[in-house]
Amino acid sequence: MIVLKFGGSSVADAACMGQVAELVRAALPRSPLVVLSAMGKTTNGLFDAAKTAEGGDLAGAMARQRTLMAAHRKAADELFKGAVPENLDTALTDLFGELELLLRGVALLRELSPRSMDAIASLGERLSTRVFAAFIGGAWLDARTVLRTDAGFGEAAPQPEAIRALATGHLKPLLAPGRAVVTQGYIGATEDGLTTTLGRGGSDYSAALFGAALGAEEVQIWTDVEGVLTCDPGIVPEALPIPELSFAEAAELAAFGAKVLHPATIQPAVEAGIPVTVRHTQKPEGRFTTISAEVRTGRPITALASRSPVTVLTVSSTRMLAQSGFLARLFEVFGRRGVSVDLVATAEVSVSLTVEADVPLAPLIQDLSAFATVGIHEGRAIIAAVGERLKSTPGLGARLLTALGDVNVEMISMGANEINLSLVVKQEHAAEALRRMHRVLVGGHP
């Protein structure tokens, strides 16, 4: 069997759902489990309605509820050409009645706990899957009966062993060639039956967890791009899809700004030896990317990614010279202040580090200034070149730096895993640096 996950843009309206239905029907011989996100911007709408209710504006929250209800009823009406089945109409009425009760409770108490927010947010996926399952005639499964989590509302941690057992009992019996089973991404439940959500990338995470629990042949992530590209196409229009990507490469690219998916969300499938493919919903015959732990591309450079703005801190002290313990003291400050460090480069009497631009600098600088001088350089960008043979390819670093020409590089760091070479430049030079480096990646020369 296979798992097919479709994001919000893929099921944004009736026309999009019709396209997804064709893809699901084509996969029927492979016993598909279909994992859906909420329609379009529904989740944002639910958060907005909940926040409005928390502020005591019940009328405003109800107006948002009616807008969401109208969008889902319109999609159902168009899919069924005006003849919405009675059971679907009843299901939609019940779900919006549940939403109304939840919003009234929040407005009455003027309190929106993470637990309440998860209950409200879950309605987006429950609505989209009800409409879609009715349209394709598939079995509908409440993901909360299988996807067991802890009680970390807002970003709950899945419990893989429990999920595997529950999938065997509740989900496997529904799967068969010629039949699609439709369920929700993003949502789960505690052992006590309390609704939870998985946080960022939750639907991809759900698909990977279901795939791992069922021993799927493949997990397909359907989105609005033809796989993972060699660079951001908004900056480099000639960026190309990457046919194969190792999990390590995907992790590096995501860490430095690639936005197609976050590797942590597909890790359960990768660890289970299940390939994950990233495909374009509207171009099913187009190119796509396969991500697997077993992939060995052998490419010097696979792709480029960029993240900005970041801040560079240069910490200097003559006490570093021939003394032990300085770095321990330095990083103790960052750990105590809860500040994550991305890149590090050292010299005899100084250390340069990059941190996110929104880090509160004043208390950090105060602590560091007790034993060192600190230079601050804001408005910088990290550019990462990722590839399996970066370190072992003679002359590659020279070609990249030559390609940059007059773009000044302020910091260089070779990743500890040998597949990441990162550069720091001024933020306003990042786009041009990416375009010049991409010419080396694609054309093999400056």
**CA separation for the pair 126, 141 (Å, rounded):** 10
Question: What backbone torsions phi and psi does residue 268 show, to the nearest 5 degrees?
Answer: -55, -40
Q: How large is the C-alpha radius of gyration of the chain?
A: 25
Q: For each of the chain's 446 residues, which pLDDT tens digit applies? A: 999 999 999 999 999 999 999 999 999 999 999 999 999 999 999 999 999 999 999 999 999 999 999 999 999 999 999 999 999 999 999 999 999 999 999 999 999 999 999 999 999 999 999 999 999 999 999 999 999 999 999 999 999 999 999 999 999 999 999 999 999 999 999 999 999 999 877 999 999 999 999 999 999 999 888 888 899 988 999 888 889 988 888 888 887 777 777 777 888 998 899 999 999 999 999 899 998 887 776 678 889 999 999 999 999 988 766 667 788 888 999 999 999 998 998 888 889 999 999 999 999 999 999 889 999 999 999 999 888 777 777 888 788 888 999 999 999 888 766 788 899 999 999 999 999 999 887 765 44
What pLDDT digit, counting tens, does each position of 192-227 carry? Answer: 999 999 987 799 999 999 999 999 999 999 988 888
Whole-angstrom CA distances from 391 to 154, 291, 298, 415 are 40, 22, 12, 10
Tell me the two tokens of residue 409: 């590089």
Tell me the two tokens of residue 229: 């590209």
DSSP 179: B
Pairing of β 411-414 and β 420-426:
antiparallel
What pLDDT digit, counting tens, does each position of 41-74 carry? Answer: 999 999 999 999 999 999 999 999 999 999 999 9
Query: Please, what are the domains in the chain?
Result: 2-223 (3.40.1160.10), 303-443 (3.30.2130.10)
In the chain the first and final C-alpha atoms are separated, in Å, by 46
Outline where 233-342 has alpha helix (H).
Answer: 247-255, 263-271, 326-336
Question: How remote is the C-alpha of 172 from its chain's centroid?
Answer: 27
Q: Fill in the amino acid letter for 249.
A: E
What 3-state class would DSSP assign to 123? helix
Q: Fill in the amino acid letter for 421.
A: L
Extended beta strands in 32-153, E state: 33-36, 139-140
User: 382 forms bridges with which residues in the sheet?
Assistant: 307, 424
Q: What's the confidence (pLDDT) of residue 416?
A: 62
Asked if residues 216 and 268 have their Cβ atoms less than 8 Å apart, the reply is: no
Asked if residues 423 and 354 have their Cβ atoms less than 8 Å apart, the reply is: no
User: 182 forms bridges with which residues in the sheet?
Assistant: 34, 140
Whole-angstrom CA distances from 360 to 86, 327, 337 are 55, 21, 9
- Counting Cα atoms < 13 Å in the Cβ hemisphere of 426 gives 5
**CA separation for the pair 416, 218 (Å, rounded):** 31
